Amino acid sequence: MRVSSYVNNSKYWNDRQTVFIGTYQSFRKSGESVSYGASGLGLETSRALASAGASLTLAVRNLAQGQAGADVLRAAYPAAQVSVGLLDLSDLTSVREFAADWMASSASLDILINNAAIMACPLTQSRKGWEAQFATNHLGHFVLTTALLPALHKAAQKTGDARVVCLSSSAHKISGVEFDDIHFERREYNKWKAYGQAKSANALMALGLHLRYAGRGITANAVHPGGIMTGLQKFLPTQEMRALGWLKTDDTPLDIFKTPQQGAPTSIWAATAPRLLGNGGLYLEDCQQSVLVEPGNRVSGYSAHIADAVAAERLWAMSETMVAR
């Protein structure tokens, strides 16, 4: 399925000027800075929305790379309205400054896609002392989303339909949120459990948003785009990816991995599908609602812990307390 095929046929675009904020996390590797506003899943998602006439704000950690991504979109779609804003999800001051600047210049927000992530990094702490994957992948997006809620409410009041898309992963099956030791202060650090915990938190945040705001016209869902080889794997040396069975003998990805063009449609579907209006708190993959699976199934479906309303409420309350400090 081409990314644009669903968007361009959707009635979603007929009666609104849509604003999209996509978050893209950049990283440094071998002296280079790469931003996913300029490549990969983020670019393909943005490309589809730009082709349909959405006004886009790319929230990026590296402005130069973000501008490069915006230039790609403008070249392909000269009429596209694309702006770039500085946002470092690991720094809550940066998150709040971005949200304040955006709110000061824009009235309403129809779509927010929380796309950024880091994966399987060595034990790293944020300035607040939080484990980096949880801090970046969940808390940064939590602060951004809650700060932009007034703009989402305005869009919902006008059209009855504002959307929040939270990128999760099948890795949520590795670990739920360990509420008693989120930051690995009393247990040995495991980079995959930390990533799984963060991806579970992404899905639970979507559920928490649904529980609070579905009645006010905000639809929030979690999306698994599929396994995609992008810069997300930057902390994984080739030898480790071989051991994981991700690579062919020539070190190219196995055919089970998607391209960014194949991974983006589910985010677009979550952001625009009329059938999802008011249907939130779901885990979506391959442009459909996923199904509950038994423990041990790592390929498809979702685990019960990300559909736990009590856990979603607990995470929301805990997140509010953490970021208020």
d(CA 253, CA 241): 9
Name every residue whose Cβ is closer than 8 Å to that of residue 157 and which is 6 or more positions away in sequence: 217
Residue 7 lies in a domain: no
d(CA 252, CA 249): 7
d(CA 322, CA 300): 32
Residue 5 lies in a domain: no
pLDDT beyond 90 at 219: yes
Q: 235 pLDDT band (50/70/90 cuts)?
A: confident
Residue 219 lies in a domain: yes
Residue 291 lies in a domain: yes
pLDDT at 295: 83
Residue 215 lies in a domain: yes
Catalytic-labelled residue, pool 6, 195, 213, 283: 195
pLDDT beyond 60 at 28: no
Residue 11 lies in a domain: no
Q: 61 pLDDT band (50/70/90 cuts)?
A: confident
Question: Lowest-pLDDT range, 31-35, 71-75, 224-228, 270-274?
Answer: 31-35
Q: Which residue has the higher pLDDT, 19 or 67?
A: 67
What percent of the chain is modeled with pLDDT above 70?
88
Residues 48-77 have a mean pLDDT of: 89
DSSP letter string over 122-189?
Answer: PS-B-TTS-BHHHIIIIIIHHHHHHHTHHHHHHHHHHHS-EEEEEE--GGGGG----TT-TT-SSS--
Assign residue 135 the CATH number of its domain: 3.40.50.720
Number of domains present in the structure of the chain: 1
d(CA 296, CA 314): 25
pLDDT beyond 90 at 80: no
Reply yes or no on whether 195 is catalytic: yes
Spatial CA neighbour of 223 closest among 175, 174, 294, 271: 271
Residue 6 lies in a domain: no
pLDDT beyond 90 at 5: no
Supply the pTM of this predicted model.
Answer: 0.89
Q: What residue spans of 226-296 are helical by DSSP H?
A: 238-243, 260-263, 265-272
d(CA 43, CA 36): 7
User: What are the tens digits of pLDDT across the range 156-193?
Assistant: 999 999 999 999 999 999 999 999 999 999 999 999 99
CB 143 within 8 A of CB 92: yes
Residues 30-58 have a mean pLDDT of: 69
User: What are the tens digits of pLDDT across the range 195-211?
Assistant: 999 999 999 999 999 99
User: What are the tens digits of pLDDT across the range 104-154?
Assistant: 987 789 999 999 889 888 999 988 899 999 999 999 999 999 999 999 999
Residue 233 lies in a domain: yes
pLDDT at 299: 77
pLDDT at 23: 57
pLDDT beyond 60 at 17: no
Print the domain residue range for 249.
16-324
